[in-house]
Amino acid sequence: MLNKLDSTVFLSLKNSKNKLGFFKRGFAASRKLQITQENEKSPKPLKGIRVLELGQLIAGPFCGTILGYYGAEVIKVESPKLGDPLRIWRHLDADGVSPWFRSMSRNKKSCEINLRTAEGKKLVGQLANKSDVLIENFRPGTMEKWGLGPDELYKTNPSLIYTRVSGYGQTGPYAAKPGYASVCEAMAGFRYINGFPNQAPVRPNISLGDSVAGLTAALGVVMSLLARNKLSSSDNLITGQVVDVAIYESIFNMMEGILPEYDRFGEIRQPSGTTVTGIVPTNAYLCLDGKYVIIGGNGDSIYKRLMQAAGRDDLTTKKFATNKDRVKYQELIDGAISEWIKTLTSKQVIEKLEKADVPCGSIYNIEDFANDNHVKERKLIETIRVGKNRSNGYDLKVPAFAPKLESTPGGTLWAGPDLGEHNREVFINLLELKEHDIKKLQDDGIIGKTL
């Protein structure tokens, strides 16, 4: 339905074909403004979905973070007194908690339950019965040992999406091995191809395998929820399923053409430093000011524009026409580009290449990224408040999540909670425990003291 302003524009322009473009742009701008203004109160896509998060550190919790960002209610079960080890990883803030944890656990509710006690397991089972999704990233077999495996929980909650994140999956000869992302990245072949020939493999300075596994798990959860909804409505069934996510498999999914190339040609992709095997030119080039610029000039027409900008029309002849041709002359082409770029500052290089419509860019550190105008315009950094009030808290910048959904956007509502901050809400409001029962559970060390 058009609002009053849109109706006026429509009536004045509907008979003016030459002004139709203006009308479309005006309507689109009005719609964009309306969407922007309503984002905070828009419905979230996962609203009404309750997630029970039993994981710790990164892989499992990252799945919960994504689901919570898009509206799911995420109840994070933590060990009394200690909590998730991520709370004290790396730099600690003034309150003694890692800002990484505050970011990772945003939009989550923290409750303390001792899973190593019979009563604690019983409480978790009760929470699972009231949940749509369960996330765990313990070593395979642990949940079964605790009587909380899928076969047991499906007896009382057959619609549960039981999400399991581990190093090597729930089956196979490696299932019981401890699964750390660094080791799983190595098995998947990712570490082998990173670095320079004849040198030690290089690792990224982030826990990539854990994050990719968490993202894979979130995808599995959403697909399972869609399947559950479809089956429930069409066949009158209520069905849950296990989502089995292995870190090494999640990384292996990113390894593009490596397997089929090996299968057909026996080729084992090798580390290639700053380049990509079989694609020319794409590299990091050193500029006059000591900074590097990344150039992706591998498209045929892009390559031609790149070499013209570099004043090397001699390298645009027929023998350089396609990527297949250029691979034979990689050293020559990269050498020519390097010779040109080292005479210019990084700013000059980018200005010249952008004018020629050649993909290029600076290599950012986090300070560069956080201060980039495009990043700000896209609202990729959110500021949240840590602490219960303005006087004793602090502001914290955290990354927003992709994708950006137009009508049902995600968002950060609160920072990662204090340990046990939501004990009362979970135990009294959700599980409907009585005060005297809670007191006994606290005295017995089964739940946390915070209430």
Distances (CA, A) of 42 to 4, 33, 101, 356, 381: 22, 14, 27, 41, 19
| 3-state SS class at 283 | strand
Quote the mean pLDDT of the chain: 91
pLDDT greater than 60 at residue 2: no
Which spans in 130-207 are helix H?
142-145, 150-153, 181-187, 190-193
H or E element, residue 110: strand 108-112
Is 147 within 8 Å of 111 (Cβ atoms)? no
Query: Residue 336: CB partners within 8 Å, gap ≥ 6?
Result: 307, 310, 312, 315
391 pLDDT band, cuts 50/70/90, is low
Residue 444 bears catalytic tag: no
- For residues 183-212, one letter each, b for 16 or more C-beta atoms within 10 angstroms of the residue's C-beta and e for the rest, the string is bbbbbbbbbbbebeeeeeeebeeebbbbbb
CATH fold label, 273-285+291-361: formyl-coa transferase, domain 3 (3.30.1540)
> Which pair of tokens denotes residue 414?
């609160």
Q: Any idea which architecture 44-254+405-442 has in CATH?
A: 3-Layer(aba) Sandwich (3.40)
Which pLDDT score is estimated for 17? 40
H or E element, residue 292: strand 292-296
Give the dihedral of Cα atoms 413, 419, 424, 425; nearest 10 deg: 30
Per-residue pLDDT reduced to its tens digit, 23-71: 344 444 444 434 343 455 788 999 999 999 998 999 999 999 999 999 9
Lowest mean pLDDT among 24-28, 96-100, 208-212, 236-240: 24-28
Lowest mean pLDDT among 24-38, 57-71, 179-193, 205-219: 24-38
* Higher-scoring residue by pLDDT: 49, 3: 49
> Which pair of tokens denotes residue 41?
């109160």
Is 127 within 8 Å of 75 (Cβ atoms)? yes
Residue whose token pair is 């399923």: 241
CA dihedral sign, ordered 154, 159, 160, 163 = positive
Per-residue pLDDT reduced to its tens digit, 224-237: 999 998 887 666 66
Average pLDDT over residues 356-380: 97
Q: Is the pTM of this model over 0.75?
A: yes
Q: Which of 210, 244, 313, 437 is catalytic?
A: 210
Which pLDDT score is estimated for 274? 94
Q: Do domains 44-254+405-442 and 273-285+291-361 have the same CATH topology?
A: no
Per-residue pLDDT reduced to its tens digit, 302-328: 999 999 999 999 999 999 999 999 999
| Percent of residues, the chain, with pLDDT higher than 70 | 89
Laid out side by side, the sheet with 133-136 consists of: 108-112, 73-78, 50-53, 133-136, 161-166, 241-246
Which pLDDT score is estimated for 230? 86
Which pLDDT score is estimated for 271? 96
pLDDT greater than 60 at residue 198: yes
Is 92 within 8 Å of 418 (Cβ atoms)? no
Residue 383 backbone phi and psi in degrees, to 5: -110, 125
Which pLDDT score is estimated for 388? 72
Average pLDDT over residues 432-444: 95
Which pLDDT score is estimated for 40? 59
Which pLDDT score is estimated for 234? 62
pLDDT greater than 80 at residue 389: no
Whole-number Å distance between alpha carbons of 133 and 227: 13
Which pLDDT score is estimated for 59? 97
Average pLDDT over residues 360-387: 96
> Which pair of tokens denotes residue 405?
């959904």
Q: Where are the domains of the chain?
A: 44-254+405-442, 273-285+291-361
Full 3-state SS string of 13-47: HCCCHHHHHHHHHHHHHHHHHHHHHHHHHCCCCCC
pLDDT greater than 70 at residue 22: no
Is 156 within 8 Å of 145 (Cβ atoms)? no
H or E element, residue 293: strand 292-296
Per-residue pLDDT reduced to its tens digit, 113-161: 999 999 999 999 999 999 999 999 999 999 999 999 999 999 999 999 9
